[in-house]
Amino acid sequence: MRSNWEQIIPDRWSSVNFRRLRRPSGLRFLLPGLFALFCALNAHAAPASPAKKPVHKAKAVPKAQSPKAVGAAGLIAVAQHELDQGNPSAAAEYAAAATTQAPILADYAQNIRAQAEYGLKNYDEVNKSATKIFDHTPVSPFVGSVAALAVRADLDGDNPKQALELVRKYFEKIPQPQADLLLARCFEATGDLAQAAEYYQRVYYDYPTAKEATDAANALVTVQQKLGDAYPPPMPSAMLGRAEKLIDAKNPAAARVELAAAIPKLGGVQRDLARVRLGEVDYQAGHTEAAFQYLTALKVDESEADAERLAYLIRCIRKMDRHGDVKPMLNHLEQQHATSPWRLDALIFVADQARVDNDPSTYLPLYNACATTFSSDPRSGWCHWRVTFESYRKDGKDAYDLLRDQLDKYPDSPDANNALYFLGRLEERKEDFASARACYDELVELFPNTYFAVISRERLKDPKVSAATASAAMLEFLHSVNWPPRNEFPSFLPAEEAEKRLNRAQLLQLTGLNEFAEGELKFGARNDEDQDNVYAYELAKMAVARNAPDQAVRYIKAYAPDYLYMPLDQAPLLFWQLAFPIPFRASIEQQSREQGLDPFLVAALIRQESEFNPKVISRANAYGLMQLLPSTGKQLARHFGTRRFSSSELLIADRNIQLGALYFRDLLNSYNGQTELTLASYNAGPGRANLWRNWGPYREPAEFIETVPFHETRGYIQIVLRNADVYRRLYAGTVPDVPVYHPKPAPKGKHKKRPSAHARA
């Protein structure tokens, strides 16, 4: 295992930090060394001799790079530095040399050269470099960006027809909104002003927060003046869409300006929608009273605009604590807009809010209406689950049928594994241990790394359950459920195309170009199908090599999104250790011993709070690994005799763990050692946790967790407890409690990607 790690990830001392290229002090050390290495290696290199073309076989690890290859690739680092320093001539020369000496990375060299030649206004040379990148094998990550550069070069070189041809050819490869903006510029340069207006409008209305939107707005002024009455007016949906995107971007003030300008140009339903959304931006900006007054006085036709108006009036009323006024609004929605999505939105919003108030007389009828009226909408699965779980908790006569209906009607719901667990528990209470066994077995197989799988494995240890044979009738039902399709998980062995990318990335990394190396793998992850695991795994290893375990976790979550659906024997042990790392282990174990805590529970909490990034500060001003508020840290520091406390201490890993462990211990004591309540308090605060504790009685901790009305906190408790289970299996023993991994063959061809599934990361 270790030898493989070292082959892929060089020791930190052997990898050049690319950021040092931007600092003169580091540069004085780096550039002469790279250049001298390159020259020496070429001087002593043996003459090339004819050889048979090697046969490429998929390997778990890319082969070690030769010193000559590393030295040659170093020219790319030098070329990039010269470009960054504003020396395009030198950058172009180094890039040209790198193309010859490091052909495996020729596209990287040509990308630098293209930028340098553009800076020198050698536009024909830009196109030559771009062509080499377009023709490169494997497909280069720079195809889109260099195509955009080549289009700009053609435009600047007064060759608009060639620019138009080029942007059309590579339109899908050029990032948006650059592609639309360049196409608009090409149409304008070739005299097709109507088409230019259309694409400038796309940029302006579809990407309001992008810098290109400003360029498009300025261009539209000129184009409109030239076209006069022939100028194509923007579509109403585009004007409304721009305002909506600004709202989504948390910029209600700009959205208000857009809506106010659009209203005189709109008519009918679109005009009514814009008028309604003027009130919505007040609500989004926190001006609830103003929004309420405006939306109350607003008169619109009985349409979706009116349904949207009522839905936001309900939000205003709830926020203003005028709960008694909600029912007439809901009745109006039911009478006039019974099947509107805005009614569904309002039903779920009010029901969820009523759950926060522990008001079942309000939320149960609303969830019921949601599940009944909107059964084809995926959101109705949540409504049905809340009705189902309430019946289960209260020992309702329909609990059994509702649990089976939840699985049968909503098998792809995030709450499917919850329903499967509680169905098993209900069977246990009926002393039907054979049916319970079937439920737990199915849950562990389908959802192996969820909280409910953890507690199902515990239920399977119960003598009565373990002695039972899974019920054939229950298995028949469970096998009839239309579970979301999950194809065989991808291999961790690279196919030929992926192996080429791994070799390129390794060479870039050894040269100190870490950003380029990781970019190569990210490009492969997005484009090479059925290699999700390979790229996620290698990206994670690269992140750890530069001492960024938090980034390793994020890479696995991003590029292998279904990893939690893999049983532990479906991936190498190192993959799981990267996904569930335990940096600062000595400090975690020491502070856990001093506070009488399970170190793996502490590690599990840190993974969820900060992903082991000691320097992170949240939007709520929580600091460091265990996300402590400065006020909490100051109070805790007194326990250790600290009189003068600085918030910056919380960004020191050991200090944060020391104070965080003490804080968790204090909470745990206040809840008599009940871990689930302690985690609820850690996430949502003691006041709320104390309130939820009194909503019982609860027969088991899982019932308490499922009753928590905050989605975030409910998920948080489950994730931390799941994490702790994985950490124990990986690290508690001298030998990990993980089944042996048997590698699968690398794929020979392209396969469709698996549909994403519901999993909590």
CA 91: distance to chain centroid? 36
CA 517: distance to chain centroid? 21
Tokens of 18: 């690319």
Mean pLDDT for the stretch of residues 636-647: 94
The answer on pLDDT for 25 being more than 50 is no
Q: Are 18 and 514 in contact (CB under 8 A)?
A: yes
- Dihedral sign for Cα atoms in the order 482, 483, 484, 490: negative
479: Cβ contacts below 8 Å, ≥ 6 apart: none
191: Cβ contacts below 8 Å, ≥ 6 apart: none
pLDDT above 70 covers a percentage of the chain that reads 90
C-alpha to C-alpha distance for 337 and 343, rounded to whole angstroms: 7
Q: Are 713 and 683 in contact (CB under 8 A)?
A: yes
295: Cβ contacts below 8 Å, ≥ 6 apart: 276, 279, 309, 312, 313, 316
C-alpha to C-alpha distance for 589 and 601, rounded to whole angstroms: 11
In terms of Cα–Cα distance, which of 195, 190, 196 is closest to 218?
196
pLDDT in tens, 694-733: 999 999 999 999 999 999 999 999 999 999 999 999 999 8
Number of H helices, E strands in the chain: 39, 0
pLDDT in tens, 229-272: 999 999 999 999 999 999 999 999 999 999 999 999 999 999 99
DSSP for 507-543, please give it.
HHHHTT-HHHHHHHHHHHHHHSTT-HHHHHHHHHHHH
C-alpha to C-alpha distance for 279 and 296, rounded to whole angstroms: 10
Q: Note the pTM of the prediction, 2 decimals.
A: 0.88
When mean pLDDT is compared across 226-230, 313-317, 683-687, 750-754, the lowest value belongs to 750-754
pLDDT above 90 covers a percentage of the chain that reads 84
Q: Give the pLDDT of residue 739.
A: 82
Q: What phi and psi values does residue 460 have, to the nearest 5 degrees?
A: -70, -15
**DSSP letter, residue 741:** P
Q: Give the pLDDT of residue 738.
A: 80
pLDDT in tens, 335-367: 999 999 999 999 999 999 999 999 999 999 999
CATH for the 585-731 domain, from 1.20.1260.10, 1.10.530.10, 2.20.28.160, 1.10.569.10: 1.10.530.10
Q: Give the pLDDT of residue 750.
A: 54
Q: Are 164 and 187 in contact (CB under 8 A)?
A: yes
Task: Give me the residue spans of the domains in the chain.
Answer: 2-42+62-229, 235-301, 585-731
Q: Give the pLDDT of residue 323.
A: 85
How many other CB atoms are there within 10 angstroms of residue 456's CB atom?
A: 25
The answer on pLDDT for 45 being more than 80 is no
Q: Give the pLDDT of residue 63.
A: 65
Tokens of 603: 């590690």
Q: Give the pLDDT of residue 51.
A: 39
Q: Give the pLDDT of residue 673.
A: 97
Q: Are 246 and 254 in contact (CB under 8 A)?
A: yes
Mean pLDDT for the stretch of residues 568-588: 97
Sequence letter at residue 226: K
Mean pLDDT for the stretch of residues 607-622: 97
The answer on pLDDT for 36 being more than 50 is no
Q: Give the pLDDT of residue 4.
A: 34
Residue count of the chain: 761
Crossing angle of helices 252-262 and 236-248, in 10° steps, is: 170
Q: Are 503 and 719 in contact (CB under 8 A)?
A: no
In terms of Cα–Cα distance, which of 393, 417, 361, 355 is closest to 708?
355
Is residue 755 very low, low, confident or very high in pLDDT (cuts 50, 70, 90)?
very low
Q: Which CATH superfamily is domain 2-42+62-229 in?
A: Tetratricopeptide repeat domain (1.25.40.10)
Residue 734 exposed, middle or buried by CB count within 10 Å (0-12, 13-18, 19+):
exposed
When comparing pLDDT for 402 and 746, which is higher? 402
Helix (H, G, I), strand (E, B) or coil at 623: strand
Mean pLDDT for the stretch of residues 383-389: 99
C-alpha to C-alpha distance for 281 and 243, rounded to whole angstroms: 9
Q: Give the pLDDT of residue 62.
A: 56
Average pLDDT along the chain? 90
Q: Give the pLDDT of residue 761.
A: 59
CA angle at 658 for the pair 655 and 659, rounded to the nearest 5°: 90
The answer on pLDDT for 73 being more than 80 is yes
Q: Give the pLDDT of residue 293.
A: 97
- Alpha-carbon separation of residue 669 from 272, 558, 675, 678 (angstroms): 57, 37, 10, 9
Tokens of 92: 């172009």
pLDDT in tens, 57-67: 334 455 677 77
Tokens of 722: 């799941």
C-alpha to C-alpha distance for 679 and 713, rounded to whole angstroms: 8
- Dihedral sign for Cα atoms in the order 680, 683, 686, 689: negative
128 HSE (CA, 13 A, CB side): 10
When comparing pLDDT for 26 and 216, which is higher? 216
Mean pLDDT for the stretch of residues 542-562: 96
When comparing pLDDT for 72 and 40, which is higher? 72
CA angle at 562 for the pair 561 and 563, rounded to the nearest 5°: 95
CA-based R_g, the chain, Å: 30
Backbone torsion region of residue 158, taken as left when φ is above 0, otherwise alpha when ψ lies between -120 and 50, otherwise beta: left
The answer on pLDDT for 543 being more than 80 is yes
pLDDT in tens, 76-108: 999 999 999 999 999 999 999 999 999 999 999
pLDDT in tens, 441-474: 999 999 999 999 999 999 999 999 999 999 999 9
